Homo-oligomer: A and B are copies of this chain.
Amino acid sequence: PPSLAAYCLALGDDALIYSHRLQQWLTRMPELEEETALANIALDLLGQARMLLARAAKADPSLGADEDALAFLRESKQFRNVRLVERHDDDFAELVARLLVFATWRLALFTKLSASGDPVLAAIAAKGAKELAYHRDYAGQWVVRLGDGTGESHARMQRALDTLWPLVGELFVITGVEQALPGTAVDPALVRPETDAIIDTVLATAGLDRPDVAPLGTLAGRAGRDGVHTEALGYVLAELQSVARAHPDATW
């Protein structure tokens, strides 16, 4: 059914694009231990993306034949990820700030989703929730370390939060896709209190302020979930799809 496919696509695209941004950090981390942790997280999210895109392709073959067709042959406006995941991180503070927000939100979502009426989606969410709990804790520990660490790390952490905060509101906006799938999809507005509470606890422990900023503007109300992205996504796709597009008849 198209709604289920669209829902899987949205959740899959979040993971696919965010994993790409994490992959770009590899070999650039501050310690070897962080290299392995980062690779682990990027790999988990890539795994989630693969299952969700495969599920989307199965639920609505008109979208694309399989996970690879969906990842490598769609254009920017066909991607359904939230805009939070598109931006290139300026520094390690931004990496962990975004990861904290993303993983906390997605964990809350996946926890509810593990009771979805769609058994495949429920199973994907249950598996993913275990991974995301680790991602969230990893990010939370670093946010606390950096918030509490030195003057410089505190300033960078706060700036990172301020930079990405305008993108947070979009995570909790319900779309027609969720509305069309009662009992199967989760209304993201429902996970806002839990997400906020956890992030607030981490920020309080870290001695950081929750930013008070206006949400990033939309296009007549349309944002990432509607295929209206930031300019960053085009560059992500150019890189992600470059080899696949150059060899349209190849199998790998």
Contacts and interface: CB of A to CB of B under 8 A. Distances in A.
A27 B234 CA distance: 18
B248 A238 contact: no
Contacts of A234: 242
B246 A241 contact: yes
Contacts of A75: 246
A236 B245 CA distance: 15
A234 B248 CA distance: 17
| Residue of A75, A239, A245, A248 with highest tally of chain B CB at under 10 A | A245
User: Contact size class for A?
Assistant: 10 to 19
Contact of A246 (B235, B239, B245): B245
Nearest to A245: B245
Contacts of A126: none
Contacts of A241: 242, 246
15 contacts: A75-B246, A234-B242, A235-B239, A237-B242, A238-B238, A238-B239, A238-B242, A239-B239, A241-B242, A241-B246, A242-B242, A242-B245, A245-B245, A245-B246, A248-B248
